[in-house]
Structure 1
Amino acid sequence: MSTSTTIIYQPKTEFNPITISSFKAYDIRGELGVNLDEEIAYRIGRAFAQILYQRYHAASTQPDDTTSLRPAIVIGSDIRHSSEQLKQAAIAGMMDAGIDVIDLGMSGTEEVYFATSHYQALGGIEVTASHNPINYNGLKLVKEHSKPISADDGLAEIQALAESGKFTTDNPSGKLQLLTDKSTYVDHVMTFIDTDKLKPLKLVINSGNGSAGPVVDLLIEKLAQANTHVEVIKLHHAPDGSFPNGIPNPMIEANRVATQQAVLEHNADLGIAFDGDFDRCFLFNEKGEFIDGSYVVGMLAQAFLNKYPNESIVYDPRVIYNTEAVINDHGGNAVISKSGHSFIKQVMRDSSAVYGGEMSAHHYFRDFFYCDSGMIPWLLTIELLSITGKTLSELVAGYIEAYPSSGELNFRLTTHDAPAIINAIEKNFSVQNPVKSTLDGLSLNFGEWRFNLRASNTEPLIRLNIESRGDRKLLDTKIQEINEWLAAQGARPA
């Protein structure tokens, strides 16, 4: 533990009203020098701290689950070259609001989630742009107990205060601690598996030159200390904010090639890849094939229900057939939620779900403060490979055959907006009398096949997922049919 005394950013003493357009539905993301810079990061940090501090003091007269907290905020940052400066600006803002700050140094988003709860802090910030282009950055915010903050649950209030610049000035400056030791976090992550059950395995782990590398090293060390025989081939391992091997985003097919080739070259049992802040985990089987996230959700749901019978599992509505079948077949309680981490986490808390998963490769765990982790899924997977004696392709083959799906197909809008297209496709298919859900976009279920069409929260895109019950030919026919229909509406494959 050490105390940092140098704050790089020197804020203004007076703040005029400005407009900050980098606030999104669940977090803050913007283009550097356009709608995100050090002044904006300072304002956000100061507004965030002021609002949480006011809530903390109000709770002292009305005791609730915030009364055991300490008046401090945790902050970390990814490896991007701009992240340290933005972090220091946010730190200056929080300290000027009278809040103590715990700086985790270079870290992943899940480390902030863990530290916020572990240190009983009022909230946490991760400075990251995850998988966005190199000229972008952002801030992910959580409040007490690592609970998410959304536009309708505090984020809009933070934006309004940051834009107005009407900050309180009567609080003494907060103090800053630099706490970069990751051992407690790593120890907690390791509790999710029984290392005595692990068999010899060879893994390829692609950290994408993001923030994952140091944590991967610590987990490998823990596996070695437990006398396991897990061999790891490290790919694009060293953190490097210039991203010499491209932005770490395994959702892009071209970015999967290096991992796939390494799995085949080294005859590995499993390939693992992360995005920049490693809150998402992507898996490749022993053949180098990318495993769609919806099947990973089913696999982990089954693993959890084998350990914890009759528990609730939360999943998103984009692809559901396989997940629902797995949960029902293994005696679990299936709980559907709108996609997005704020919704998933709240539904998990409401249902006390042991696990939640999204096809986008976000995986959430009750024993990780209902937060998502990119490290826990691959550890659970190597435990599952060891316990079953099966390969990953064997574990998911039955899922894929029983419930084939298209994977997420993205379309760029050119002539119509998303609501117009969604309304039109609903009208087009209404004559077939499907079961309709508008929980998240539009879902139409025709019995033997279904689709979900939803607008992107961040880009001028609509996202399509189609699945069928064991009929690959039907699936292919429907993919072609809806592709052609969308093209007629001016939506082009992105």
Structure 2
Amino acid sequence: MGSFNCFKAYDIRGRLGDELDEDVAYRIGRAYARYLNARAVVVGGDVRLSSEGLKQALVQGLRDSGADVIDLGMTGTEEIYFATWFLGVDGGIEVTASHNPIDYNGMKLVRSGSRPISGDTGLNEIRRMAEMIDYGPQAGIPGLYRQESILSAYIDHLMSYIDFSKLTPKKLVVNAGNGAAGHVINAIEKVFISQRVPVQLIKIHNEPDGTFPHGIPNPLLPENRADTANAVHAYGADMGIAWDGDFDRCFLFDQHGEFIEGYYIVGLLAESFLLKKPGARIIYDPRLTWNTEEIVTQTGGVPVMSKTGHAFIKERMRAEDAVYGGEMSAHHYFRDFGYCDSGMIPWLLVLELLCVRKQPLSTLVAERIARYPSPGEINSHLSDPQQAIQRVLDAYSGQALNIDYTDGISLSFDDWRFNLRSSNTEPVVRLNVESRADEVLMQQKTAEILSLLRQEG
């Protein structure tokens, strides 16, 4: 039996067999339904070979605790988010390990309205109930089970974010990585064809395949980007898009096949929304900020900083009635999508922005990279993260114009700034640095801080 070590800070994720198995999945179903007193729950699973078995065990647990179950079949995480609020049910569970190794699986859980369930908002209690309760034969009537598709309604919702009349001829490479995104790409392609939208989708690795013949889809790793970049070159495409396994994150490549850091995508999406909704509030995380703050302010919006992490971003978006929230880690959140993250809405909005601005993606992004250069997030494995962070704080705090503790420490100076955060789960410190239009200064300060951090002993 699994060990329940699959319960993490934000979701459930573990190695098959010793951390997660069908018995654990069944117990999670029983505990989840009892904890929420759920009458109806939607479930789905990604393409992993273990997902269907885990999902059916989960379904049995939910039903044995009296919940009706609507099974959406093979889905991405955001289809569960969408269905939970669209159908008005009590919760939703996606069986997925996203970009983890092939011998892993897990679950992402939400309650009604697609509000997140994480450690301190129910996940720890669900674990306690799953571990402690002696689940014998169920007395009473089990919940009902039915299979349903909400794909058509979900696609209609995605299409509501863009104006077809603004779309000009474009060629896009789309790489599902043999994950769960392929059926959604196919459905979007059908809409484009039926509506005579002049956008061609060039599909690679589009067929779902749980053996992942081209590797686990995780475009955040540089070694996993070549297929998308090469296809952009080969087809002369205007943009490349690649997804992770459950497609709640998308990663963009310009017309030269160059990968675009997520930080600069946040600025593009903020601009896209503010052109449609002047004065809107935009949420962003503290790691890299100047580019986003400038774009939002100049485009007539209100920038609002939030602690990193989906639970914090979603909570702050609700409190601020923000139309969009973006993290540099390629998670993008949308008010009209139940305040949830989507890997499909971002590329549609960037496509429309390319057409409206009449400039290639490389040009739109190059302006911003030159204005606020950053090396991206750099991780350091350290024996004493707190002591290392204190060394950096001691060295720079006296010169700082501002010190912010929203998430880790952020120190700002006249022409550069940095953020340092400790990982919650491992002895890792994450560094982000940016400057005002000074690549040399940015590289110099990055090297300085890394040297201080890594002075062990």
**Could you say which TM-score interval applies, normalised by the shorter chain?**
over 0.9
What secondary structure does 1:481 align onto? helix
2:205 to 232, 236, 239: 236
For the 8 Å contact 1:161–1:167, the answer to whether it is kept is: no
Q: Which stretch shifts more, 271-280 or 33-42?
A: 33-42
For the 8 Å contact 1:316–1:359, the answer to whether it is kept is: yes
The C-alpha deviation readout for 1:434-491, integer Å capped at 9, x for no partner, is 522222122121231111111234444322111011111100101111222223238x
**Unpaired segments of 5 or more residues in structure 2?**
none
Alignment-mate amino acid for residue 68 of structure 2: D
Which residue matches 2:145? 176
Which residue matches 1:111? 79
Q: How does 1:377-392 map to 2 (within 5 A)?
A: 377-392=346-361
What secondary structure does 1:350 align onto? helix
1:46 aligns with 2:15: no
1:100 aligns with 2:84: no
Q: CA deviation at 1:433?
A: 3.6
RMSD over aligned CA atoms reads: 1.6
Which residue matches 2:399? 432
For the 8 Å contact 2:418–2:433, the answer to whether it is kept is: yes
Q: CA deviation at 1:21?
A: 1.4
For the 8 Å contact 1:282–1:293, the answer to whether it is kept is: yes
Which residue matches 1:224? 193
Q: CA deviation at 1:167?
A: 5.3
For the 8 Å contact 1:313–1:356, the answer to whether it is kept is: yes
2:386 to 394, 419, 442: 419
1:343 to 312, 326, 336: 312
Q: Tell me, in whole angstroms, the C-alpha distance in 1 between the residues paired with 2:445 and 2:252.
A: 27
Q: CA deviation at 1:23?
A: 1.1
What secondary structure does 1:395 align onto? helix
Q: Tell me, in whole angstroms, the C-alpha distance in 2 between the residues paired with 1:434 and 1:138.
A: 44
Alignment-mate amino acid for residue 214 of structure 1: H
* Percent pairwise identity: 54
1:313 to 282, 287, 301: 282
**Unpaired segments of 5 or more residues in structure 1?**
1-15, 57-70
Q: Tell me, in whole angstroms, the C-alpha distance in 2 between the residues paired with 1:197 and 1:107.
A: 30
1:323 aligns with 2:329: no
What secondary structure does 2:454 align onto? helix
Which residue matches 1:73? 41
Q: How does 1:475-486 map to 2 (within 5 A)?
A: 475-486=442-453
1:135 aligns with 2:103: yes
Q: CA deviation at 1:19?
A: 5.3
For the 8 Å contact 2:3–2:20, the answer to whether it is kept is: no
Q: CA deviation at 1:96?
A: 0.5
Q: CA deviation at 1:246?
A: 0.9
What secondary structure does 2:57 align onto? helix
For the 8 Å contact 2:242–2:252, the answer to whether it is kept is: yes
The C-alpha deviation readout for 1:384-417, integer Å capped at 9, x for no partner, is 111111111111222111111111112223x32x
1:197 aligns with 2:166: yes
What secondary structure does 2:398 align onto? helix
What secondary structure does 1:134 align onto? coil
Alignment-mate amino acid for residue 317 of structure 1: P
Q: Tell me, in whole angstroms, the C-alpha distance in 1 between the residues paired with 2:91 and 2:406.
A: 29
1:151 to 119, 132, 139: 119
Which residue matches 1:468? 435
Which residue matches 1:63? none
Q: Tell me, in whole angstroms, the C-alpha distance in 1 between the residues paired with 2:222 and 2:188.
A: 27
Q: Tell me, in whole angstroms, the C-alpha distance in 2 between the residues paired with 1:262 and 1:23.
A: 38
Q: Which stretch shifts more, 319-328 or 397-406?
A: 397-406
For the 8 Å contact 2:40–2:90, the answer to whether it is kept is: yes
Q: Tell me, in whole angstroms, the C-alpha distance in 1 between the residues paired with 2:161 and 2:398.
A: 48
The C-alpha deviation readout for 1:159-206, integer Å capped at 9, x for no partner, is 110110245954420011111351111111111111121111000011
Alignment CA distance shift 1:344-1:326 (3 Å): same
Q: How does 1:290-309 map to 2 (within 5 A)?
A: 290-309=259-278
For the 8 Å contact 2:415–2:435, the answer to whether it is kept is: yes
For the 8 Å contact 2:43–2:70, the answer to whether it is kept is: yes
For the 8 Å contact 1:50–1:167, the answer to whether it is kept is: no
What secondary structure does 1:208 align onto? coil
Give me the TM-score of the superposition, normalised by structure 2. Answer: 0.97
Which residue matches 1:447? 414
The C-alpha deviation readout for 1:144-169, integer Å capped at 9, x for no partner, is 00001121111111111011024595
Which residue matches 1:264? 233
Aligned residues: 456
For the 8 Å contact 1:47–1:167, the answer to whether it is kept is: no
Q: Tell me, in whole angstroms, the C-alpha distance in 1 between the residues paired with 2:126 and 2:6.
A: 12
Q: CA deviation at 1:358?
A: 0.5
For the 8 Å contact 2:78–2:341, the answer to whether it is kept is: yes
Which residue matches 1:7? none
Which residue matches 1:68? none
Alignment-mate amino acid for residue 76 of structure 2: G
